[in-house]
Amino acid sequence: MLHHAELSPPRDRLADILHLRPGRAHEFCGPARRVLAAFMVGQMGRATPVIWLRLRWHQDRLYPMGLCNWASPEGLVVVEAARETELLACAEDCLRSGAVALVVAELDHPPTLTPLRRLHLAAAKGLARQREQTGTDRLHALVLTPDQGGASGVESRWHLAPCPAATADAEHRVPPAWVLKRLRARMAPPAIWAVGTDLDCQPLQAAHV
């Protein structure tokens, strides 16, 4: 919930802010991390190959048709792994192939530095192969982690949480939607935005969140 947040008029769309460097691994965390990943799936284009990896024993399930408001599910392939090591190995293979646009690895906790580095290397090789074979430049690795995340060595870390209530300040009302935080990025400082249902983003002052 936001209290007396100071907002500037909407200037950016979510797609302009969430511009991820290809060929690298990025971390999405927070209670709405799957929403942010679904948005990225939608940015890949209709029927573009996307691999979403999850642990088999989780009770919740990803329902592709539930993504229709965000993305076209035709190219989405959901893969279930018995163990985290298998999940990460599969993510590496998918990235190294260069045959997909996005690989989402949904984990219970942040990976250590070694598997993260392996994802970076696999993504870099896959991107080089993609450029050589198709001339495209679109291959991303996403690691989904709970809470505040914390994977070592990620290119960037983004936190998304629902914002279910507007502030009491009538002059600066925030529509019910989400709060997006850029917690880490190699080429940009930490920042916070209110994201509306129309995906317009308004900068927020960190002191008020």
**Is residue 74 a contact partner of residue 65, using CB atoms and an 8 Å limit?**
no
pLDDT above 90 coverage of the chain, percent:
59
pLDDT for the residue numbered 45: 81
The tokens of 4 are what? 């007396």
In this predicted model, what pLDDT tens digit does every residue of 41-56 receive, in sequence order?
988 887 789 999 999 9
pLDDT for the residue numbered 172: 59
pLDDT for the residue numbered 78: 92
Query: CATH for 21-154, among 3.40.50.300, 3.40.50.1970, 3.40.50.720, 1.10.3720.10?
Result: 3.40.50.300
Beta-carbon contacts of residue 13 (< 8 Å; ≥ 6 apart): 199, 200, 201
Q: How far apart are CA 40 and CA 44, in angstroms?
A: 7
Predicted TM-score (pTM) of the model is 0.87
In this predicted model, what pLDDT tens digit does every residue of 144-179 receive, in sequence order?
999 999 998 999 999 999 987 555 555 656 566 899
Q: How far apart are CA 176 and CA 179, in angstroms?
A: 10
**Cβ–Cβ contacts within 10 Å for residue 4, how many?**
11
The tokens of 2 are what? 């936001």
**In the chain, where does the domain assigned CATH 3.40.50.300 lie?**
21-154
DSSP state of 90: H
